[in-house]
Amino acid sequence: TLVTSYRQLQELRPYYRFLDADVDRYTVNGVYRQTMLSPRELNIEGLPPQAQTWVNQHITYTHGFGVVMSAVNQVTADGSPDFLVQDIPPVSAAPTLKIDQPRIYFGERGTDYTLVNTTQAEFDYPGASGDVYTEGYDGSGGVPIAPLLNRLAFAVRYGTIKFFTTSAITGESRLIFRNNIRERIETAAPFLALDPDPYMTIAGGRLWWIQDAYTVTTRYPYSTPEAGFNYIRNSVKVVVDAYNGSMAFYVWDEEDPLLKTYRRVFPELFTPRSEMPRELLEHVRYPEGLFDIQAQVWTTYHVDGPDILYNKGDQWMIPEGVSLDGGGPMQAYYVIMRLPGEAKEEFLLMIPFVPNGRQNMIAWLGARSDVPVYGTALNYIFSKSTTVFGPNQVESVINQDPEISAQRTLWGQQGSEVILGNLLVVPIDDSLLYVQPLYLQSHETQLPQLKRVIVFYRAPAPAGREGDAKQVVAMRPTLGEALTAAFGEDVGDGETEGETPSGPEAGGGAGAGGGLSPEARALIARAGREFDAAQDALRAGDFAEYGRRMQALEEALTDLQRLRKE
């Protein structure tokens, strides 16, 4: 997985840890790109046993350092992530990604407490010529620990007399506690329910945590409970400074009656949404936790008539996931794409549906994340007169392809573990293009590397005539090559001679090979640039993301399909 690669390549020392990778979007050198980012948090447990002393745990090792970021659609020649931010101190590929304050005192891991500004040197980061130590903590986090009453209070809290026996504490020393961001937020606002997936973002040269928070209740009249409550609103976005620990509770739903009550009780706690800095506003996203609940409810309530609703005559379901994790319902995924009628691409969260008890795709649901259209939902329903393959049907076709199967077997015999990434869905016209990354992992290095991309496309078929539908499947090192292999035969006028795929990597199915017109080659090249073969299976337990500039990819693939029809 992507996190495994991050750990192998960028943890650098055993006392650092990447917990997971979060999806976001940034404008990098003028291009709107989808990215994965993971903070390098402190991992005290990684110190050797002889170094597990009280001084090391609470005074010397106090903070994580920096992040790694990679584009979802780019890899190096050997299949490793192509980093946009990497190393210690962090090296950024664009000015918008520059980090002036990379130190992480507040994060998802957290510790009991840390002491800063003591007489003991505080480790900062490992340098090329030796360890580097800080000159002191100049943030606002923590509380003074020198006063006797404070020492006594924390000695009782943590059950230790070290606050009295250590000589490291000075008049400037501070104790930083509640540095786990979830605990910190819950302490300040215990009436808010928190999304399970906070994410870090770079804004203004600093590192920030964004935590979606909900107002929930079980007492909304006539509402069916879902996930333990029957009312939920994403009423608040909480932003935490990773260096200072300062929190801002931004009001996101001013009409929510529960939040209105909380605001009257705690008027100083909340900040109007209009005061959120633009740099942070660009990175808010529609939360997966809320979207998952809405998608589950939508499987039943998408119908119009009460009779159909009561009898569940048009019930949908979320298809089984085809991913690194194996089974379970497919997870929602973020994507950059241009919606019909819109002038530019945007950041969406989406999930497909299949009819209850069947495997063909029937619809997909999306939620928009970019301001000012944030929160707008859309539901795209495929025509009932055609059959669109669902994820499990596509996976079955890929697994049964004799040439792809033979190549996978060969890799396995050579001592490499073959890992299929999450199956990605790209809407084009009245059908879907499926893209699946394939990774190889050596048993010795445990470092997965992206080696191939499999594409599958099935033209829409009239209901009852599914056998007449033409479908193509191909496997290649890059998306552009896979598209050429899949669509080459029928694209363009054939006047320009193209490569004819051969060997086990060509993949089976009609359309593999043939001549390509200049226009077709240009479209495939454009698609390859925008959605490279480097789609990564993201964090453990999450569906993978689409590539950057999905607008250009979608347009190129749609034009390819039209060329095939001409």
Query: For residue 310, what pLDDT is reported?
Result: 84
Query: For residue 511, what pLDDT is reported?
Result: 37
Residue 515 has pLDDT above 70, yes or no: no
Range from 120-124, 374-378, 488-492 carrying the lowest mean pLDDT: 488-492
User: In sequence order, what are the beta bridge partners of 200?
Assistant: 209
Tokens of 289: 């936790």
| Amino acid present at 532 | D
Judged on CB neighbours under 10 Å (0-12, 13-18, 19+), 14 is exposed
Residue 137 has pLDDT above 50, yes or no: yes
Mean pLDDT of 425-430: 70
Q: Is residue 93 very low, low, confident or very high in pLDDT (cuts 50, 70, 90)?
A: very high
Query: For residue 517, what pLDDT is reported?
Result: 60
Highest mean pLDDT among 25-34, 244-253, 403-412: 244-253
| Model confidence pLDDT, tens digit, residues 236-273 | 999 999 999 999 999 999 999 999 999 999 999 999 99
Cα–Cα distance measured from residue 185 to residue 296, given in angstroms and rounded to the nearest whole number: 28
Query: For residue 535, what pLDDT is reported?
Result: 42
Residue 47 has pLDDT above 60, yes or no: yes
HSE, CB side, 13 Å, CA atoms: give it for residue 92.
19
Query: For residue 559, what pLDDT is reported?
Result: 66
How far is residue 448 from each of residues 38, 165, 182, 477, measured CA to CA in Å?
17, 49, 31, 15
The DSSP code for 220 is: -
Residue 25 has pLDDT above 80, yes or no: yes
Non-local CB neighbours of 357 within 8 Å, separated by 6+ positions: 317
Residue 502 has pLDDT above 70, yes or no: no
Q: Is residue 526 very low, low, confident or very high in pLDDT (cuts 50, 70, 90)?
A: low
- The angle that helices 402-413 and 391-400 make with each other, rounded to 10 degrees, is 70
- The DSSP result for 137-154, as a single string, is --SS-SEE--SHHHHHHH
Range from 41-55, 103-117, 246-260, 382-396 carrying the lowest mean pLDDT: 382-396
Judged on CB neighbours under 10 Å (0-12, 13-18, 19+), 234 is buried
| Model confidence pLDDT, tens digit, residues 8-21 | 899 999 999 999 99
Residue 221 has pLDDT above 80, yes or no: yes
Pairing of strands 193-194, 206-217: antiparallel
Query: For residue 504, what pLDDT is reported?
Result: 29
- H, E, C per residue of 268-289: CCEECHHHCCHHHHCCCCCCHH
Mean pLDDT of 76-81: 78
Higher pLDDT, residue 228 or 197: 197
Residue 434 has pLDDT above 70, yes or no: yes
Q: What proportion of the chain, given as a percentage, has pLDDT over 90? A: 53
Query: For residue 539, what pLDDT is reported?
Result: 34
Q: Is residue 546 very low, low, confident or very high in pLDDT (cuts 50, 70, 90)?
A: very low
Cα–Cα distance measured from residue 391 to residue 386, given in angstroms and rounded to the nearest whole number: 16
Q: Is residue 72 very low, low, confident or very high in pLDDT (cuts 50, 70, 90)?
A: confident
Tokens of 132: 């580097």
Query: For residue 73, what pLDDT is reported?
Result: 74
User: Using an 8 Å Cβ cutoff, are 26 and 35 in contact?
Assistant: yes
Q: Is residue 323 very low, low, confident or very high in pLDDT (cuts 50, 70, 90)?
A: low
Residue 374 has pLDDT above 90, yes or no: yes
Q: How many CB atoms lie within 10 A of CB 245?
A: 20
Mean pLDDT of 375-379: 93
Pairing of strands 247-251, 270-271: parallel
Is the pTM for the entire model greater than 0.95?
Answer: no
Q: Is residue 229 very low, low, confident or very high in pLDDT (cuts 50, 70, 90)?
A: very high
Mean pLDDT of 538-552: 39
Mean pLDDT of 75-101: 91
Query: For residue 311, what pLDDT is reported?
Result: 85
- Torsion angle, CA of 285/291/292/293, rounded to 10 degrees? 140
Query: For residue 521, what pLDDT is reported?
Result: 64
Query: For residue 543, what pLDDT is reported?
Result: 33
